[in-house]
């Protein structure tokens, strides 16, 4: 399948009201604001979208709303991950039926699987998904890395697997994906999941970044991407410093979803910052740290 994704694709948080119900008004405001920026697409129902805390039917309802709100103005990726291969297939078929452009699937995150079983999980998904599939590697959360060897095998055997979001705190893993997997299959897309590896990934031939900071500071990540394309590395360096300061946000709370929503609110958008249990909102001390980070990164004065 022909799909080209590139640049900056925010993993958009899902907005809920105080009763832990999906808030379409707040979600719509957030989507509209991001649409008005220079981002290159959207990812809904990824880690920041709290997919793992949502029931099956709610995931479909939220996906339908988001695709309809974006209305084809930019590409939309829907996170369809589950520990159940069959549930991933069902959610991926649904994403295809509502007009999404691709799905993203993190590997199962409870039972540790052999590489062969991981391969078969993704192969079944690829053979049954009507949409292109992006792999999602986040070993600090899943407990298991998608090895370069498995990714290379999937890229070779499954034309419908078109890329990967690699959320690893190690550039050598991304480098190997670019050189060994993309090198063998040039249309295979490699995105950094960690904001700070954005420019490094682009410089060695990767395709972009899927950074949560672009939900509230798209001028930074989109500015870096523009500077890269224009070979304006002085601008890129200045913006990278801001991005490094903002990226400290990820270390002040776990999970970090509440901080992303609070950063969006603090940056001027009226949204509910409620999160789904078992997560709870950031406490006062964490919010104080977040405000300091946003000030250091130039989001707040």
Which positions are annotated as active-site residues? 47, 110, 136, 165
Main-chain phi, psi angles of 46, to 5 degrees: -90, -155
Contacts for 103 with CB less than 8 Å, ≥ 6 apart = 77, 78, 79, 80, 91, 92, 95, 129, 131, 132, 133, 134
Q: For the chain, how far is it from start to end, CA to CA, in angstroms?
A: 46
Two structure tokens written together for 215: 């939900």
Contacts for 61 with CB less than 8 Å, ≥ 6 apart = 22
Main-chain phi, psi angles of 220, to 5 degrees: -75, -60
Closest CA to 89 of 49, 35, 128, 145: 128
Distance CA 252, CA 256 (A): 8
DSSP 104-119: EEEPPSSS---HHHHH
Closest CA to 7 of 221, 182, 176: 221
């Amino acid at each position: 399948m022909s799909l080209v994704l590139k640049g900056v694709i925010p993993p958009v948080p899902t907005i809920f009201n105080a009763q832990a119900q999906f808030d379409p008004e707040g979600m719509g405001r957030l989507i509209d604001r991001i649409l008005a920026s220079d981002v290159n697409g959207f990812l809904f129902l990824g880690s920041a979208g709290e997919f793992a805390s949502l029931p099956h039917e709610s995931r479909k309802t939220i996906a339908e709303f988001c695709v309809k709100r974006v209305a084809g103005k930019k590409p939309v990726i829907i996170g369809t991950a589950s520990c159940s291969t069959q549930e991933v297939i069902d959610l991926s078929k649904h994403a295809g039926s509502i007009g999404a452009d691709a799905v993203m699937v993190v590997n199962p995150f409870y039972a540790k699987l052999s590489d062969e079983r991981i391969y078969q999980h993704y192969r079944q998904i690829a053979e049954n998904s009507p949409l292109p599939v992006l792999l999602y590697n986040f070993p600090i959360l899943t407990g298991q890395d998608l090895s370069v060897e498995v990714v290379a095998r999937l890229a070779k055997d499954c034309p419908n697997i078109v890329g990967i979001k690699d959320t690893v705190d190690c550039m050598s893993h991304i480098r190997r994906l670019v050189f060994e997997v993309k090198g063998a299959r040039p249309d295979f897309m490699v995105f950094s999941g960690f904001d700070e590896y954005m420019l490094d990934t682009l410089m060695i031939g990767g395709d972009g970044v899927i950074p949560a900071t672009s939900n509230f500071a798209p001028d930074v990540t989109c500015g870096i991407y523009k500077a890269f394309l224009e070979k304006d590395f002085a601008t890129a360096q200045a913006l990278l410093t801001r991005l490094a300061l903002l990226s400290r946000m990820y270390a002040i709370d776990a999970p970090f979803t509440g901080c992303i929503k609070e950063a969006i609110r603090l940056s001027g958008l009226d949204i509910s910052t409620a999160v789904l249990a078992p997560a709870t909102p950031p406490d006062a001390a964490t919010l104080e740290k977040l405000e300091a980070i946003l000030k250091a990164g130039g989001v707040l004065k």
